[in-house]
A and B are shown apart, each in its own frame.
Chain A
């Protein structure tokens, strides 16, 4: 669901990122607190219409919800088992609409536009020590590295299976964390190399190597 921008020319794509994020926040709060089925139906139809207006194919739209279906199914099943199937259905429908709305925002908004909006929104917090540009970069990198870390996890799992270890969360966690930390060093180095300087300062005036370049470089 993250980091998948669907390029198209549509009124939804053209809306400012800040407005879309605001609609998402307010819309999610309203939908999650709504218990009236007719109002939820209106919300659902509105979101579906917005998908159509954004020219997002049905398959792409459904693919956004699919990964969450098993959790939603479990929530519904739990409520059904304790005799509260109506409440289970209500919670499930609320989450489906909110997930669809969130997906619509990510599908129609470039991450850089979203981050620029977040950076502007955090601007007033500068006097409190908040660095909006750094927060925005961290968020965009979190989105960018979800698939990278997922690939790393798949590689570790594959290597373990090749050596006879079928399924072990602990055995997966240690090498994955080590890889992630090593990757973090490399990424920090790359940020330096690409001119990123959040403090506006020279990187080093001592004999110490810059942060991210402390480990021996791989030869």
Chain B
């Protein structure tokens, strides 16, 4: 359970989030809004990548202001551009990076890497250089790297923006199979099929929050205004 309590944030003079107050308990939550509406900053609050200027964010009772490291083990984050998230040259090396940060070594590390590679169909690419992967394979690797750490929540910031239709479907299928709570920022409304809740941001505030059909309708209305 993630609770955001009267959180506001500003970058310099610009207020990017104003007085956000809500709980996130559903299994599938979509975040939509125009460019610059504050949604990417909002999701960065959820694992302490951004600390709110005022208010607080609690993950299972832990405060991002004090317990960032413990929270990042619970809340994984997948970025829009996988090239910025993959830090080792080989597929298997990159997958091992997050697990090493959890303290895994030796056979236990190898086993978890193998499991993650097999789960996402990346096993044939194990020894491949990351820069030789397709965009979809890179995003799958980024997702696998996060999920190998077994977080209870996965936050994704526009994970399919740079992908073609086939790779979007690969990512959508991978997401659909997850047991974890998924919180996803997206402009791709098809990805929200089957979601439990959609939150709409506009100018740093929540302007709609509820059933996906209502949220999407409000978002479309905002885009056409």
Binding site for B on A (CB under 8 A): 3-5, 7, 110-112, 137, 140-141, 143-144, 147-148, 151, 183, 186-187, 189-197, 202-210, 212-219
Contacts and interface: CB of A to CB of B under 8 A. Distances in A.
A148 B49 contact: no
Contacts of B38: 219
Nearest to B40: A217
Interface in B12-55: 14, 16, 33-41, 44, 47-51, 53-54
A203 B105 CA distance: 24
Where chain B touches its partner, the secondary structure class is mixed
B180 interface: no
12 contacts: A112-B88, A141-B88, A186-B81, A190-B77, A193-B72, A193-B146, A194-B101, A194-B145, A195-B101, A218-B80, A219-B37, A219-B38
Interface string B81-119: 101111111100100111001100000000000000000
Given A5-B127, A204-B65, A195 B149 contact: yes
B84 A195 contact: no
Contacts of A147: 129, 131
B88 A219 contact: no
A210 B79 contact: no
A193 B101 CA distance: 11
B66 interface: yes
B69 interface: yes
B69 A202 contact: yes
Contacts of B48: 203-204, 210
Contacts of A194: 72, 85, 87, 97-98, 101, 145-146, 149
Interface residues of B, number: 55
Nearest to A215: B11
A49 to B, nearest CB: 24
A195 B101 CA distance: 6
B68 A203 contact: yes
Contact of B84 (A186, A213, A214): A186
B212 interface: no
A195 B73 contact: yes
Nearest to A194: B98
A190 B127 contact: no
Nearest to A197: B69
